[in-house]
Amino acid sequence: MNNLSQIWWPSPAKLNLFLHINGRYENGYHQLQSLFQILDYGDELAFDVNSSGKITLADPIVGVADEDNLIVKAAHLLKQHIPAALSTNLGCTIHLKKRLPMGGGIGGGSSNAATTLLVLNRLWGCQLTEAELSKLGLSLGADLPIFIQGNTAFAEGVGEKLQPVSLPKRSYLVVFPNSHVSTAEVFSLADLPRNTPKINFSDYSFANTHNDCQQLVCDRYPNVAKALHWLLEYAPSRMTGTGACVFAMFEHHQEALDVQKLLPTGTTSFVANGVNTSLLHSQIQAQI
């Protein structure tokens, strides 16, 4: 266990290659379809387990109280769902290398929480199944199950009904327009489209799908609109999730790097490859 505690574990980003809102459930949650593309780029976490019974974050995020951080919430949630006799003395100091922008729609916080659940489940010997961890994760956010499952997937429901799929390899230039978009705010907008017909994944193509949130966000956040308009000059591009990040899709990694060099000075961006299996899951399997 001590050896595993010294490991840095991936916490990958994701893109919504499309986002269709099909309706609304009685509880207010939105019924949607999306295609989650896992990327080979993200944050990293390390876990120093101890017997203090306390969860501490060694690298607090400025402006976010520890008790509001999804990493800490995930660790406490895991402790609550294992027998008290086993959990009383379980503690951990969690280290974070943060690369993904907050509020960008690429799943940074959700991915951090999912990595925490998956790794501490192993380090603490909790022995919860992936299905059980996904159920716990869903209580923290709709994006957690995709990271816990760890596969690029076609999603339905509120994003928790996942069908793993295999996509051709593509590279993505992801741009953060220096705007923070509230998911709750976007989904509360009266003029948000909520009647897009459902599709079968067999009919999917990037060209025949869209993001139902994109136009409303672009109307309200000029930085998002500007970044997206810039990318569209070079490749098929779209906003991911409820924003603020936008991305362009390329067949070759070098093409993405070449376009990245043309971005205005000071632009926050990264280039990543789409992968069908999360690097976190590959690393976990390698440790078994």
| Start-to-end Cα distance in the chain | 12
Q: Hey, is 38 helix, strand or coil?
A: strand
Which residues fall within 8 angstroms of residue 131, CB to CB, at 6 or more apart?
none
Q: Which of the following is catalytic: 14, 43, 79, 212?
A: 14
- Residue 95's nearest CA partner among 46, 144, 51 is 46
Q: Are 108 and 102 in contact (CB under 8 A)?
A: yes
d(CA 239, CA 15): 9
Cis amide leading into 272 (omega within 30): no
The residue type found at 158 is V
Is 79 part of the annotated catalytic residue set?
Answer: no
Single-letter residue type at 139:
S
The position carrying tokens 């409820």 is 242
191 is catalytic: no
Residue 109 burial (CB count, 10 A): 25
Residue with tokens 């990327």: 39
Q: From the candidates 59, 143, 191, 203, which is the catalytic residue?
A: 143
Q: Which residues are catalytic?
A: 14, 143
